[in-house]
Amino acid sequence: MQSRMDGMDGVIIKTAGISKEFSGVYVLKDINVEIRRGEIFGIVGENGAGKSTFIKILGGTYTPSEGQILFEGRPVHIRDAGVAKRIGIATIPQEVNLVGDLNVYENIFLGNEYRVGAWLLDKKKMMSKARELLRDLHTDIAPDERIDRLSVAQKRMVEIAKAITHDPKVLIMDEPTASLTQYETDVLLNLMRHLKERGVTVIFISHRLKEVKRVCDRVMVLRDGETVSVDSARDLSEHEIAKRMVGRELDTIFPEKVEAQGTTVLRVEGLSVRGVLHDVSFDLKKGEILGFAGLIGAGRTELAEALIGVRRKTSGKILAHGKECVVNSPGDAIRHGIAYLSEDRQGIGILTSFNLVANTTLVSLGKYCRLLINARKEREKARFYVDAFNIKAPSIETRLEFLSGGNQQKVSLAKSLDPGPEIFILDEPTRGIDVNAKKEIYDFIRQLVMSGISCILISSELEEIIGICSRVAVMRDGRIAGILEGDRICEEEIMYYATGLKGRAS
Amino acid sequence: MNIRAIPKRVIPKRLDYERFGSLYALILLFIVSSIASPYFLQLQNILNILRQVSYTGIIALGMTFVIISGGIDLSVGSMTALVGGIVILTLNKFGGEIGAIIIAIVVGMLLGLVGGAANGLIITVGKVAPFVATLGTMAIFRSLTLYVSNAGEFRSVSSIYPGLGMGDLLGIPVPVWIMLGLAVVFHIVLTRTRYGRYVCAVGSNERVARYAAIKTEVIRFTSYLVVGLTVAVSAVLLSSRLNSISSTNAGLNFELDAIAAVIIGGTPLTGGSGTIPGTVFGAIILGIINNMLNMLGVSPYLQGTVKGLVIIGAVLIQRKRR
């Protein structure tokens, strides 16, 4: 691959004055950048900075309004995804894009099936090739497992396997680590280095600056559609990158920790759900942020689902203020003051075809109507949240599909908060949103606990868990492996418990 | 402070179509028709069209709820025949006077609810896909009708019953009044009540709705009750207009016309959103097309072709907007 003579100075992609406008608004302005063969090239920026637009242009989803792309020294016109694939640019999209009803190898080879003769599929060959690809990724996913049965992280791995089957020259990864745990992230970062050694250029977009710093050779910072800088990653500190992204000095991202107030508002005793949760017990105190850490599949989301009555518990008790409560449906949970913010924003959290108002009051609609819905009252409340959470939207009538991920998340937060819960379960509240929005969400959580609401924070970002939680429960294989307090809340301790080096055996 | 990648002009366009697309189509059709035929604009013709569309139009109102909630009901035509037949049997049994008419109407409404409840239970409790469930009840309702009447006609003995379906108020036929009245009520229910909001939520994304503490099964179940009720209303009006119900022909293809009206009215078959005025416009569009084809002397056998093309066209336009 490298022996071929093309391009100059090892530049594989050169953009000359690339711009993109939508309805007169420039989302990308005059991007001039040279991406070198066999480097890991990071792109960072806030949501709306133009990262996605830029890679969608390289991937053929959008065509630039102005400017030119040179691929291996030759001008190319990437009309569509097919052209991108043919010249050797593969993209792993942000959202999982697999057919749930098919199994792993069928998805990997979808549209490029190996055949015996003209018509018959060569299943054996596809299976073995898929197994090989997945082994390279250090996963133990079976090639004949149905996609529906896989976790988000596993699906991500399949997506990556699918992208590298065609031996691309350039691999674009849009937030590939957003739903991965630390361990899976490490595997992925190693894989990127591995690909780089094979001469593949990797374009890596991530909000996690630590990863960017760790793995990238060079980093481009975008802000408001313009290039702020392109520098060697070695010369940049995470702090410096963050500063360039927002264009100002960031004070510490995590607010001051809040002391819990003592009384127990929620006690869970011996909670079990067949096959996923085993004998889970913990207390939640008033005004506390209790973190739940663990690897993907450790049972954290399942615990949340059991607490809000989506999963039927097989044994155990849930006590609110010392009294046992029956929670068999989300409605029961809300009556007992338990709210849930889902990790799956678009699948569970919000209705993308509904506007901001209707989403905000979806759970608490009863408060806004007698016989008819009081539209004025409802809109007032929506406006209140728009101001309180700094939600950026053209109007409160805008459908949520037109809002950015961070703003959708804020609406989802408002929706869960509006019934006035006492206990708030936040499941990956900052997944896939930018630094600024993250900081805002941390501040909201702090305000919540200051006002006496107790929070359960489920997160795969250890920094976040360490930064804001007063206690941390680490889960493994459906059990609580240990509960950490004070100085013991640190990355090493959490990983010891999460991976089974410490704590009770499963 | 950030540049938002929101193509602002796109947003109103889409909303526009959903709200007014069928109205634009109706206005266009109206103008074309009045040019094509001088008789079209005569009051009697317009009233005739409205009366003709009211029977399936009323059912289409209920169907709008079912389709928005993500379901479908294929059994409405057969159910119309069954309910209409039983209404006439009841009427005859009690003598055909005003008291008998009231009893018959009450029985009809209850039967509509029972039929809707049967569909709703099979779909929500039995977890059978709506298409399959109502395909089954469509066959069952028709066969019951044929059995009860021995494949003949239900004939009413009442002399005053036709007054209901034939009558008019301020020059406008009773069925048209009822369709418009129900449309107003349903529009308010859909846009201004919790139930209406929940119907849209369930159709938009059932999982989100369930996590938002909405009893999704109850919402879906009741949408079939609503359509059952509209079927009963339509069956009463139809049976009183003819003073009889044919077990083989009554309500034939009503499900197609009702679903077509909903789709032409801008409600996507995948559910989640839709409007009652759209459905009314959709029903009237179908009526005008039939009327024009008749007046222009197009073979009645070809009318189905035109109707089919209109339905497909409406869906294609919607798809493009998406």
- pTM (two decimals): 0.75
Average confidence (pLDDT) over A276-296:
89
Residue A19 domain-assigned? yes
Q: How far is A349 from chain B (nearest CA, A)?
A: 6
Residue A129 domain-assigned? yes
Mean pLDDT computed over every residue of chain A? 85
pLDDT at residue A132 is higher than 90: no
Could you tell me if A378 and A281 lie in one domain? no
Q: Which residue has the higher pLDDT, A115 or A472?
A: A472
| Amino acid making up residue A386 | V
Could you tell me if A125 and A93 lie in one domain? yes
Could you tell me if A151 and A220 lie in one domain? yes
Provide the CATH number for the domain around residue B137. 1.10.3470
Would you state the pLDDT for residue B4? 41
Would you state the pLDDT for residue A9? 59
List, as one string, the DSSP characters of A160-187. HHHHHTT--SEEEEESTTTT--HHHHHH
Q: Which residues of B touch A304 (CB under 8 A)?
A: none
pLDDT at residue A434 is higher than 50: yes
Cross-chain Cβ contact A331/B215 below 8 Å:
yes
Q: How far is B208 from chain A (nearest CA, A)?
A: 4
pLDDT at residue B88 is higher than 90: yes
Could you tell me if A176 and A314 lie in one domain? no
Q: How many of the other CB atoms lie within 10 Å of CB of B100?
A: 20
Residue B193 domain-assigned? yes
pLDDT digits (tens, 9 = 90+) for A224-234: 888 989 999 88
Domain that residue B303 falls in: 46-321
Q: Is B194 on the interface with A (CB under 8 A)?
A: yes
Q: What's chain A's length in residues?
A: 506
Could you tell me if A266 and A223 lie in one domain? no
Cross-chain Cβ contact B192/A310 below 8 Å:
no
Nearest CA among A172, A170, B63, B136 for reference residue A159: A172
Could you tell me if A237 and A355 lie in one domain? no
Residue A331 φ then ψ, to 5°: -60, -45
Residue B10 domain-assigned? no
Cross-chain Cβ contact A365/B194 below 8 Å:
yes
CB-based contact A52:A28 (threshold 8 Å): no
Provide the CATH number for the domain around residue A85. 3.40.50.300
Q: How far is A282 from chain B (nearest CA, A)?
A: 24
C-alpha angle with apex A276: A271 to A277, nearest 5 degrees?
Answer: 20
Q: How many domains does chain B have?
A: 1
pLDDT digits (tens, 9 = 90+) for B268-309: 888 888 999 999 999 999 999 988 888 888 888 888 888 888
- Distance (Å, whole) CA A42 – CA B7: 27
Could you tell me if A85 and A206 lie in one domain? yes
Q: How far is A350 from chain B (nearest CA, A)?
A: 6
CB-based contact B101:B164 (threshold 8 Å): yes
Q: Which residue has the higher pLDDT, A346 or A470?
A: A470
Domain boundary residue, one of A246, A272, A300:
A246
Residue A90 domain-assigned? yes
Nearest CA among B59, B56, B57, B54 for reference residue B226: B59
Domain that residue A329 falls in: 251-337+422-436+450-506
Residue B222 domain-assigned? yes
Q: Which residues of A touch B192 (CB under 8 A)?
A: 372-373, 375
Residue B286 domain-assigned? yes
Residue A66 domain-assigned? yes
Residue A73 domain-assigned? yes
Residue B267 domain-assigned? yes
Q: Which residue has the higher pLDDT, A450 or B11?
A: A450
Residue A45 domain-assigned? yes
Could you tell me if A322 and A385 lie in one domain? no
| Residue of A342, A363, A399 lying closest to B213 (CB–CB) | A363
CB-based contact A171:A92 (threshold 8 Å): yes
Strands A338-341 and A423-427: parallel
Q: How many domains does chain A have?
A: 3
Could you tell me if A136 and A50 lie in one domain? yes
Could you tell me if A34 and A103 lie in one domain? yes
Q: Which residue has the higher pLDDT, A187 or B92?
A: B92
Task: Report how many Cβ contacts below 8 Å link chain A to chain B.
Answer: 108
Average confidence (pLDDT) over A310-332:
89
Q: Which residues of A touch B8 (CB under 8 A)?
A: 23, 25, 394
Q: How far is A343 from chain B (nearest CA, A)?
A: 12
Residue A467 domain-assigned? yes
Average confidence (pLDDT) over A7-27:
78
Could you tell me if A432 and A467 lie in one domain? yes
Average confidence (pLDDT) over A195-205:
89
Residue B9 domain-assigned? no
What are the percentages of helix, strand and coil residues in chain A, rounded to 5? 35, 25, 40
Average confidence (pLDDT) over A238-263:
72
Would you state the pLDDT for residue A343? 79
- Distance (Å, whole) CA A22 – CA A75: 24
Domain boundary residue, one of A246, A278, A312:
A246
Share of chain A above pLDDT 90, in %: 26
pLDDT at residue B8 is higher than 50: no
Q: Is A374 on the interface with B (CB under 8 A)?
A: no
Could you tell me if A296 and A178 lie in one domain? no
Q: Is A325 on the interface with B (CB under 8 A)?
A: no
Residue B113 domain-assigned? yes
